[in-house]
Structure 1
Amino acid sequence: IHRNNLIINLFISTMLLIGLITGLLHYMVIIPVQRLTKAAKAIAKGNLGKEIPVTKSKDEVGELTSAFREMQASLIKLTTDLKASSEELKKMYDFQKKLIENSIDGIVATDEKRNIVIFNERAEAIFGYSQEEVVGKMKIDELYPPGVSKKIERVLYDDNFGGRGRLANYETVIINKKGEQVPVWLSAALIHGENGKEIGTVMVFRDLTERKELEEKILQSERLATIGRGVSYIGHEIKNPLIIIGGFTQQVLYSTKDEKNRQKLQIVLEEIERLNQFLTSISDFTKFTKPQLSVSNINDIVNEVHNLIELELKDKQIKFVKSLDPHIPESLLDIKQIKQVLLNIIKNSIEAMPGGGNLTVITTLKNDHILIKIKDTGKGISAENLKKIFDPFFTTKPKGSGLGLAISKKIIEAHKGKIFFESELGKGTTCVISIPIER
């Protein structure tokens, strides 16, 4: 019995010892490891601030916990540094993006296959395409007229245009979405990768349209100044003899009774008058008078012009249609000059309809501008002649001076307005005039 009790006590003591050891292991090893596992999973999901339990143990579990805490601190620092670097990179990227987008010049970049990868807002304005239409969908060659792209590629590798691989202020032309050629200054540079291989090109375009127009105006002013000096002399030298010739012709006409001679003399007088009018037109053109502005209503001016030509319209069997916007406010205009413009254009329309037709005058208000449209159903104007329609002395009429529309253009521009024609052969012509309202 004593021996059996001893065995039972020994068994109980052993079980208690095993339980104690198991409890210590659970408390000192399993629980800390479970906590570390839970913390590791949280950190893996991005929760770097997950608290790792502190342990005072100096054993392997304690060392593992300390190593985990050091790793956590390193990860937090690395993440913080990466976030700071990322924010700095984002700031730099945003700055560069704004720099490109807000540039006064068009900026276009391509990859090594000449595909367009950057196309800023100014480029949109110059070329007429949106970024969505171009980036990743068009090659740079499509933005130039035929042959121009190859020429630019050649000079880009030439040492004489800013250095090999660089191009500075090279004057050329691009072609916009409408198919129109636009003069530009082009600066370009090749982009190289780390291995020195070409990976693309960046190009900067500056629209020269306004500059060219200004140069043309200056050139025209210089021409006109020269013409003016010549006209002043010639006008003086011709007008005086014309007056004398006209006077003598008039006397002879009154004194002769021969009908054939009278007809010939009448032709002489008509030609003298035509020459006088031509000299007056040249003088008006070269010595342009600034508009004498007064408060006027464009519809009243149109009605006055209609009254002046009403009989001629009936004689030529031309139907005159008016559509005048009553809501157009009064504006500062030179009544005499605007009347001259309307008469010039309407007379041209009448001459374009020798067999009769329709002539329509429309006035409307658009964006604080007076819009005047004069439409005829005449023979129309060829595309070639349309380009030269405002050139001084250009005319298709046997007895025209070629100054009527040139003077009209100067008058409208002096009113800070614009004038242009739309026409096709056989489909009539429309003249559009836009004048800002001045009060």
Structure 2
Amino acid sequence: MKLTSKIIVILLIFWLFILFGYIFIYDRVVKPTLSQFERELAINELERFLKSFEKELVYLNRTCADYSWWDDTYEFVINKNETYKQINLLPQTYEENNINMILIINKMGEVVFGEWYNLDKKQKDKLPVEFSIPKIALTHPLLTFENPKSGRFGIISTNYGNVAVASNIILKSNLEGEPRGVFIMGKLLDDNFWENIKNQVLLDVSVYPYIEKDKLISNAFDYQINEKKIIQIQENKDDKLLLWDVIKDIYGNPLLLIRLTHTQNILSSSDTIQFRGITGFVLVMVLGIFALWIAIKKQILTPLQDLTQNIRNSTYRESITFLPNIEKNDEIALLIVHFNRMAYKINKLLEEKSKLVEELAEREQYLDFIINSVPCVIVETDGNGTIKTINSAIEEITGLAPNDVKNRNMGDILPSKSIFEFLKKIQENKEGANTFEVEEKIYINNKNKYLHIHFHRNERNGQVFYIGVIWDITVLREIQEKYNEQRQMAILGEASASLAHELRNMITAIQSGFELMRQEKNIKQKEEITGELYVSISRLEDTLKKLLEFAKKYRLNKTKISIKELIEEQFKQCIIQNNQKSSIEFKIIGDTIAEVDTNLFSRAISNILKNSFESISNHGEIRVEIYDKNDYHIIEIKDNGVGIEKENLGKIGTPFFTTKAQGTGLGLTITKKIIESHGGKLEIQSEKGVGTNVLIILPFEKG
């Protein structure tokens, strides 16, 4: 078969392959994907509708909880005073909260208060039959709670229609005390309610009574959204996708039927596009094959035939250094021209080689100039740490010229424990010798300098070498310290209003106490007032001490000490201060010798242990683990106290943030400051109801 016939067959096969591939991909990939996309689009809208509905119920439950946890409501269940009803159970209460019903049930199930309010007529009406009884069974879903503080909510069918209900246990405002009953709120699910929910979704939604299910749904199939959720899907001849779901009442019985209608515009449009695409593709294929054949014949086949003939003729000549040019202006003609030029250019390349050598020498000098102009030290060492190349910036740090440090060991030029350890690793070819980076203070050239040192391992022609960069960050460190001082003062400024308010409250309490003591004639009452004044003055003194400590700059006086002994001593002090907590079990595992400021570090440990003591209500455990890991001292202090709320965990350590009634919010802030002044880090992990884990990470002292 000639080349011409082969090209035609290849083009035909290629175009047919593309055509059948297009049809196959559309039927097996595109169409199912579009169908699934349409379905998921409808499901997302259905879920949005249900979430909007649930959001309304949650809002009702929150409103109910607000009223349930009033101290006035807590007392009303017992004394049934008229003042509470005149103030809190007015028509405005129903209208402002957009509710229709309020029920107050005591812990015996008896109705203390029950009322239905017609929002349209703005008048009171009879309670629904479901609640028009003097006593409700304690097993009623609205009176049973899995969690006393979470409440219950749902919908229920009444003679007025479907009603959203929410109930919460009646407690004091601090959520303590014995439950005295249940507060119930109800809201009629009228047309306005459903219209508001429907407006939050993009597709058409209808709500029907569940008893009409058999009449409305036919030829539908089950579709599982997730492990717990199954809906029904129905597709009709009008390219409409119907999704059916059920809303259950508070008893768990199906009550409402939800229908979401989605027109599958994308899928129907894609079928039309497919037919037009195939038709156009066939026409393009026919015209394309014809056009390609003409182009290939003219641009490739004919010039190749001419080139082959010319090469055949040239083989009869004694020299084939040059091929004869052909009278064409295309790639094949250019191929011959470039071949003839190749021999000429080889000679030119040899002439240019000498020029390149000269340019290379000039560039090397220029590169040396650039490297020596960089304001940081750039150094190359061999696998033993011997300096091979270094720029002139080393003179600014050490006072030594580059030629004075070449072929000397890096540890002799920059004497520090970190560099000695790194050189030992690379000489012994240990793990961790690929990269080295450290910031430390080095006494060199009769000065203390802060240096940032970074080395990275490389290989060239089988030889190991290290490229290092050394920055003198002494000035930057000084700027950073000044910034930290200014930032601390800024924090004090931002919190000044809150602090002033706190101090004003304390001073007002002290002034009021002295005024009461001046007016009081009873000696016993004066003694009680004196005790309260002592507590207030002590609290004021403690706040001012912590404020002064937070504002001052620490100057560390470090000594080597056993961390275990320090923690045990602070625990004994906490036992003395909190003798009622003597039943707490204390365990300490491990020990390490660290170089710390004993007074400051003891204060930090005392603050952490004090918080652990305060978080444990009665019997509990405090467990301390001490160990070393990766050049760090690790101290873990764990307790099984009440823990910290998740939303408050990120605020712990922020100045003046506290969850304690008598707290200042400076204890952990000072603790964090002490740890960070030692170059360490404080991390807190906690879970409400499980306990708290405080992690102290201190670096080894270098020197």
The two structures have a TM-score, normalised by structure 2, of 0.29
Larger RCO, structures 1/2 (Cα 8 Å, 6+ apart): 1
Would you tell me which structure has more helix in proportion to its own residues?
Answer: 1
Q: Identify, as 1 or 2, the structure richer in strand.
A: 2
